[in-house]
Structure 1
């Protein structure tokens, strides 16, 4: 039966949605935050297992062609569910220490994840819009958890207003594309596409909406304020799972809707935006003294690196983007997790870089793990961040976009300064005052150790002459 096939093809998303509804009902009637957390954790574990299983299944479309399954959508589902699961586990201890834990928070995370999974599997402009809004509205709520503080209220307001503005562009673009082609399905649009001003204008506005979601320059203005004002573990969640969903949707739009010869010139537009994003993100990150704002501008720069793979427009480029998203999820959630551990101490503001002076010797294990994550973000071998950058830059070179790859390498080299600056403060400067750090919970500590180990392992494993994660990605069909 078709409806059984449809349900099975989007089962991870359905499991997460049902878990989210259950979490909200428990919050409403039982008022047990611990139970909500356990239910959310169990639902995400099941969804992650189902997402991993879908990697090795067949590919196709369901829900009357509105959803794709298998291939890039399947791998995107793994990244999203894994990123949410890791963020959820790290969030509980952190939110409790800040007095922000509630069942609604876990419910909003699950609803946002449902939207992300739908976004990463969209094969139709309608499903793309509905999924994007489901994700965005939930993230607006999470960004405003610190509403009692000025920067918390500011982050939510800016995110909402600018998000609504970008949604207008996206929706108007959808209307123009439909007017030009008479279709909303990606493959049907590709078959009916032409070079009329109506169609080109619609695609341009659609891309503006997607550029906003991935924090590409010049649509990045919301990112530093939102990252700074959102609770740290949730910032890591937004920066990884949310970005992964938007980039997988971008891959599906480019490979399925804009892959024809008449519409293939969009790679030049993406190349220009990628160059601006890499340069602006890194230059402004160099001047930041707030660690969360530094990571926000770093996130913008990483969006630029990812766009290099999109600009290549080849299977190797798209595979490199997917691998990079996986790598970015590991190292970025790990970095925000260590910062969240430090922030539990109320004697100092551990978002300012001065407070990291001498911190590497306070809890040596945390200092070492933060160093691993920052080295990886900088793209230094043998960490997973280096491999991810290698794949996207190599794809650009293979697509005769050598200058784009050179700009990416130079921008990545410049980023080493602000990542190493944190480590200089940690190990080569003396602390300004005496303070004590609370010991993290066992699960919190083990999860960070696991992320550090995976950051090193996947930096080495793909370059060995064995079947690795990248080989799985190259087997996907992108059309």
Structure 2
């Protein structure tokens, strides 16, 4: 009976895993990839509905304290499933044009999502490791879908080798923490932890593994090559759902395993990494002519902004990070989605910025939506990206980290250059030659339109009388 109750608390993960098994079986029996696509959409949608219900439900632990349910875990799961649903929806047309549309892709995505949902509700270092590896192994395969292309092979190999290396750090860190405390449950570790060399070394190695997954400097070197060599809609999947799941796990580790400042001043470590990540990410993004690599370095910079909230180490900081993950998922999935549409028209090499000359007038709705997403990524009001940055920087100011907040604001201001540069090519440069653009598919187009609407709506939602999202997240830390 208890196992049934435990399974009910992790029902979204069970549903997604079951959908993954169905997807693999359909592929084994050579069924239509469109059928597998439908199963994937259905599985993620049902899991999302159950997860949304748990947002307002009770909180607690399950599986002998291995996972949590409700609260932060539920919100993190919603963001993961929402980002995954958007990325899967825009993937079909794109993968069909590249002759990569098969059931294996959806099966791998579903199993990867299962790992992400485990990360979002982790309450034990063993759960953290298993979930991280379940997610990562599937991503290593997805990164190499362009198996006949040099960039695809390079992306998969670099991601696998560096990912395995970082996993070694993470696992060794877990072993040292267990040796120092005799526990792997996050709360049990916090209760038994002392500022011994063994525990500090273990925690440092654990954080290195997490820094790698969120692409924080100096553990970011895999990101631009992997983002460039992976099919664009799957790049969106990595940049949104994967990053969200890892950041939620990061929050759980900080709040449940490291709440006591006497066992290590980890906030200072996070502050230094945050500053370096924001500066390096934005500076290198300015020099990029390849749009996917530019968004890769932009993603690194956004990891730095999110780390500002974690560095604050307060309820307001963690609330701001959760809201920012929601905002980042919407706007980044949309930006990669529009780039995927343009790629469908011009081939795999259509990511250089000069290829965007005059595209804003070819399919106006796509140009407008890309502009909305880029404005939001730059943090320009009234887009959701501005609100997300406001919450994390305000939390830093409230925590007395004014210099960190100033660096974040300046870094964000610098990012306007490379985002607006894309729009200059869209609307103020003459196209190199005449060409005809494909008509976007119904589901593809309306998914991007929905993302654009959400980007604008949640940019003004906090000032509306019906505002409630940030209050909902804040309630998870009440008391």
Preserved CA contact (<8 Å) 2:19 2:43? yes
* Counterpart in the other structure of 2:236: 236
Shift of the 390–421 alpha-carbon distance from structure 1 to 2, 3 Å rule, reads same
Task: Give distance in 1, aligned partners of 2:290 and 2:305.
Answer: 23
Preserved CA contact (<8 Å) 1:319 1:474? yes
Q: How does 1:253-402 map to 2 (within 5 A)?
A: 253-263=253-263, 265-346=265-346, 349-402=349-402
Measured against aligned partners, the alpha-carbon deviations of 1:370-420 in whole angstroms (never above 9, x if no partner) come to 000000000000000000000000000111111110000000000000000
C-alpha displacement of 1:350: 2.1
* Counterpart in the other structure of 2:139: 139
C-alpha displacement of 1:349: 3.2
* Counterpart in the other structure of 2:470: 470
Q: How does 1:450-461 map to 2 (within 5 A)?
A: 450-461=450-461
Shift of the 116–20 alpha-carbon distance from structure 1 to 2, 3 Å rule, reads same
C-alpha displacement of 1:464: 3.0
* Counterpart in the other structure of 1:156: 156
* Counterpart in the other structure of 2:101: 101
* Counterpart in the other structure of 2:430: 430
User: SS of 2:438's equivalent?
Assistant: coil
Q: How does 1:121-136 map to 2 (within 5 A)?
A: 121-136=121-136
Shift of the 169–398 alpha-carbon distance from structure 1 to 2, 3 Å rule, reads same
Task: Give distance in 2, aligned partners of 1:232 and 1:193.
Answer: 43
Matched, 1:410 2:410: yes
Q: How does 1:55-66 map to 2 (within 5 A)?
A: 55-66=55-66
Preserved CA contact (<8 Å) 1:347 1:435? no
Task: Give distance in 2, aligned partners of 1:263 and 1:413.
Answer: 36
Measured against aligned partners, the alpha-carbon deviations of 1:330-360 in whole angstroms (never above 9, x if no partner) come to 0000000000000011368320000000110
C-alpha displacement of 1:179: 0.3
Task: Give distance in 1, aligned partners of 2:472 and 2:325.
Answer: 15
C-alpha displacement of 1:478: 8.3
* Counterpart in the other structure of 1:80: 80
User: SS of 1:31's equivalent?
Assistant: coil
Preserved CA contact (<8 Å) 2:195 2:264? no
Task: Give distance in 2, aligned partners of 1:472 and 1:84.
Answer: 22
* Counterpart in the other structure of 1:185: 185
C-alpha displacement of 1:4: 1.8
Preserved CA contact (<8 Å) 1:349 1:355? no
Task: Give distance in 1, aligned partners of 2:58 and 2:264.
Answer: 27
Preserved CA contact (<8 Å) 1:256 1:478? no
Shift of the 65–177 alpha-carbon distance from structure 1 to 2, 3 Å rule, reads same
Task: Give distance in 2, aligned partners of 1:184 and 1:327.
Answer: 32
Task: Give distance in 1, aligned partners of 2:162 and 2:286.
Answer: 25
Preserved CA contact (<8 Å) 1:71 1:478? no
Shift of the 347–179 alpha-carbon distance from structure 1 to 2, 3 Å rule, reads closer
Preserved CA contact (<8 Å) 1:176 1:199? yes
C-alpha displacement of 1:3: 1.1
- TM-score calculated relative to the size of structure 2: 0.99
Shift of the 433–248 alpha-carbon distance from structure 1 to 2, 3 Å rule, reads same
Measured against aligned partners, the alpha-carbon deviations of 1:53-107 in whole angstroms (never above 9, x if no partner) come to 1101101000000001111110000011111111111000000001111100000
* Counterpart in the other structure of 2:171: 171
Structure 1 stretches of 5 or more lacking a match? none
Task: Give distance in 2, aligned partners of 1:166 and 1:191.
Answer: 27
Per mean C-alpha deviation after superposition, the further-off stretch among 63-72 and 463-472 is: 463-472
C-alpha displacement of 1:36: 0.8
Task: Give distance in 2, aligned partners of 1:308 and 1:230.
Answer: 29
Preserved CA contact (<8 Å) 1:15 1:43? yes
Shift of the 439–256 alpha-carbon distance from structure 1 to 2, 3 Å rule, reads same
Measured against aligned partners, the alpha-carbon deviations of 1:270-295 in whole angstroms (never above 9, x if no partner) come to 00000000000000000000000000
